[in-house]
Structure 1
Amino acid sequence: MPPALVVLTLALLLGIQPVTTDLYLPALPALTTGFGAPVAQAQLTLTALLLAFGLSQLVLGPLSDRFGRRPVLLWGLAAYVLAAVGAALAPSMALLIGWRTLQGAAMGASVMAARAIVRDLYQPADGARVMSRALTGLGVIACLCAPIGGLVSDLAGWRVALLVPALFGAVALGLVAWRFDESLARRDPQALQPATLVRTWATVLRHPTFLAFCALTTASYALLFTFLAASSFVFIQVLGLTKTQYGLVMLWNSLSYIGGTFVCRYWLARHGVRRSVARGAVLTLSGGLLMAGLAFAGIHSTAAIVGPLTLMMLGHGVHQPCGQSGAVGPFPQAAGAASALNGFVMMLAVFGVGGWLGTHLDGTVLPLTYGMGFWSVCVALLAWTVVQKHG
């Protein structure tokens, strides 16, 4: 496949995650009110999706090592489109959570396969650069998600906002069916045997490079998820922004992330993976401490959150490409399983974060600001210690 087609395919496969999580965020307060549901139950539409996303990868990763990336992608994307339509038509909050859970499980095929495809086609150092380009595409998609979600929700209601991901999934499915060639050179016929699975998972989980980069991506995504899960309530209900204004905040968030992916490629060419990660941690920690410090000082405003957030998203644009490619780098023959374990650990962590936020959102900015401050410290410690030693 031409390199441009590979990057485009990866961008769509990875971009399905912000389309699924970010696009409906402006509609989340209206959705909650429409069903007369408590905030904690509304949070389950996101956290249950992400838990299913993480768990499904444990199955889908070995399946892709056994049968190839293409069939897993085709079935997964088809199920995703079906689940998105079901979520848009759900008559109750319970059924909405159920459809969103299925949507998350199907989304696992797309994101897991994208990470594995990078390892199928590239060595780790080149893979980080390709992943950075694909994540730039993800950032562009994420830029559009919240503004489109806010606009669609305002003009047509939250149900239509939930239907938009089905259209995106159909486009990704069409591209994979039409142009994607199988990337796995040699299938593993024993990948699904229980003994082989246990050995593979044990090998991956014992590898210090995997553990270092998996921890980095987990802490970095937990930081982002803290913002995603709490931001609509904080900006709309606490700080009084309209849905359109909130969409612009999310747009800026995505633009900052895109900027981080460009910084990542610039640093990778000059400093390598370890030093790039260490530099990115300076941005992350500076933003986290500034945000938490302003909140502690009683400065509760949009600018006091968005300014430090910019620094953290620049760092996030460095840590995710390096971390995701680094986690699967040591496992060319088991990239699906390694990608799956990385994704599972990330989603297990954010499920815990979502559960905590669901019970601690208290009508102030503090759960968001203190939570992001905490995770920024975790990212910096990991980037400056275990990644430097084992990365």
Structure 2
Amino acid sequence: MFRFAVILGLLSTVGPLAIDMYLPALPLIEKGLDADVSSVQASLIIYFIAFGVAQLFFGPYSDQVGRKKPLFIGLIIFAIGSIACALAPTIGWLLAGRFVQGLGGAVVMVVPRAIIRDKYTGTQATRLMALIMMVISVSPMLAPLVGSAIMEVASWRGVFWALAILTVSSLSLTLFALPETLAEDNKVPVNVASLMRGCGILLRDKKFMGLTFIGGFGMASFFVFLANASFVYTAEFGLTPVQFSLAFAVNALGFFSSSQLAASLGEKFGMEKVVATATTGFLVFTVLLLGLILAGFGTLPVIIGVLFLANACLGLVVPSTMVMALDDHGDMAGLASSLGGTLQMVAGGLMVVIASPFFDNTALPMVAAIAFCAVLAFILTRLVLNKTDIAMTPAE
């Protein structure tokens, strides 16, 4: 399982790296392309939306032809988008390149999740998902530092050239190290009618939709952080790109370190109870941080420390809800994974759009938006999860 997790984890880092590596460059891109903050933030939003919508194609397509061919197609598209971003003469060109990147990067979100469902369910799947996140955790912790180092010698454009090179390595990994996991007997011909029928089943499934959006609002809070942290940390607290990268790594560490406990805690207490407890903790810490900032105690150490605790709770929610949402839909894992991913990414992008008019390069609007996401996730958890399941442990 560990070797399998490493392969899927390395493939899955391609999409997140397209976000994390260039976060320290956002203020430089603003100056270099003579753009405003909203336009630069749009380069994240448009990536999220394309990343989400394209999953609706790659998921069903992987159910029809297998898991490897879609990976090849998506990675090639991602490489083309990366080169376009590296050559961008204007912010409009950069936005177009980011859109293409998002279209291709979607494949490394939906297909690995479908591969996991091909081989495992329940806590085994959660454990594999957590192992993958452990591999992915290297990305948000080290990628901003790598991006800062690249910018020292090659400007912000070098970040996108590095992503193009990384994509070539991922193509090689897919070709030589990843087995096909979808058996011929399990391949499902896809047409518009079957796609609409499958989407209808999933959209009417209250548990699937609820779990998707519990994780989705958790991810949306992280998207808000991604879109604003570099501006807040550099403008309000005067951090350099390298210092920002270190601060960002601390917050990411909270998420990914706790994700490794999700499967073990799920086996001991039940996955529903873990999600319910973690969403409560996420709500408590984000509202606490909002109160501290309003009271005038929003120092940089306080913000980093409390966000670390909040993200630790979030690390238990996201992998668990991903697995739980797919458990009852093994016969259309690719479609379920893609629809769930699309809904989550679009929700995250829209949350950034809705909150962006309030952002002013200070911590207050950013933390308020994060706390709002926590409130929504908490409410959904109480509405969706069975109260009896939450109260019981597996032993009971």
Partners of 1:188 and 1:52 lie apart in 2 by: 28
Contact 2:2 2:131 survives alignment (8 Å)? no
TM-superposed deviation, 1:171: 1.9
TM-superposed deviation, 1:258: 2.1
How do 1:363-382 residues align onto structure 2 when only pairs under 5 Å count? 363-382=361-380
Partners of 1:377 and 1:358 lie apart in 2 by: 19
Give the equivalent residue in structure 1 for 2:247. Answer: 249
Of residues 307, 328, 331 in structure 1, which corresponds to 2:329?
A: 331
Give the equivalent residue in structure 1 for 2:39. Answer: 41
TM-superposed deviation, 1:16: 2.0
Q: Percent identity?
A: 29
Matched residue count: 389
Contact 1:66 1:187 survives alignment (8 Å)? no
TM-superposed deviation, 1:190: 5.5
How big is each residue's C-alpha offset from its partner over 1:155-180, in whole Å with a ceiling of 9 and x where there is no partner? 43111122222232222211111111
Give the equivalent residue in structure 1 for 2:269. Answer: 271
Give the equivalent residue in structure 2 for 1:89. Answer: 87
Partners of 2:375 and 2:6 lie apart in 1 by: 34
Give structure 1 regions of 4+ aligned residues with deviation exceeding 3 angstroms.
186-191, 388-391
Is 1:202 paired with 2:237? no
Of residues 26, 29, 34 in structure 1, which corresponds to 2:27?
A: 29
Contact 1:209 1:330 survives alignment (8 Å)? no
How big is each residue's C-alpha offset from its partner over 1:21-77, in whole Å with a ceiling of 9 and x where there is no partner? 111010000001111111111111110011111111111111111111110001111
TM-superposed deviation, 1:288: 0.4
Relative to the length of structure 1, the TM-score reads 0.95
Contact 2:21 2:143 survives alignment (8 Å)? yes
How big is each residue's C-alpha offset from its partner over 1:268-322, in whole Å with a ceiling of 9 and x where there is no partner? 2311211111221233122201211111112232112111101111112111110
Give the equivalent residue in structure 2 for 1:118. Answer: 116
Give the equivalent residue in structure 1 for 2:301. Answer: 303
Contact 2:17 2:139 survives alignment (8 Å)? yes
User: For structure 1, which runs of at least 5 residues remain unmatched after alignment?
Assistant: none
User: For structure 2, which runs of at least 5 residues remain unmatched after alignment?
Assistant: 391-396
Contact 1:14 1:110 survives alignment (8 Å)? yes
Relative to the length of structure 2, the TM-score reads 0.94
SS at match of 1:333: helix
Contact 2:63 2:188 survives alignment (8 Å)? no
SS at match of 1:192: coil
Of residues 256, 261, 265 in structure 1, which corresponds to 2:259?
A: 261
Name the stretch that deviates more: 214-223 or 292-301. 292-301
Contact 1:7 1:134 survives alignment (8 Å)? yes
Name the stretch that deviates more: 319-328 or 256-265. 256-265
Amino acid at match of 1:122: Y
Give the equivalent residue in structure 2 for 1:107. Answer: 105
Give the equivalent residue in structure 2 for 1:173. Answer: 171
How do 1:62-81 residues align onto structure 2 when only pairs under 5 Å count? 62-81=60-79
Contact 1:257 1:313 survives alignment (8 Å)? yes
Give the equivalent residue in structure 2 for 1:214. Answer: 212
TM-superposed deviation, 1:187: 5.9
Name the stretch that deviates more: 136-145 or 68-77. 136-145
Partners of 1:190 and 1:173 lie apart in 2 by: 25
Name the stretch that deviates more: 194-203 or 381-390. 381-390
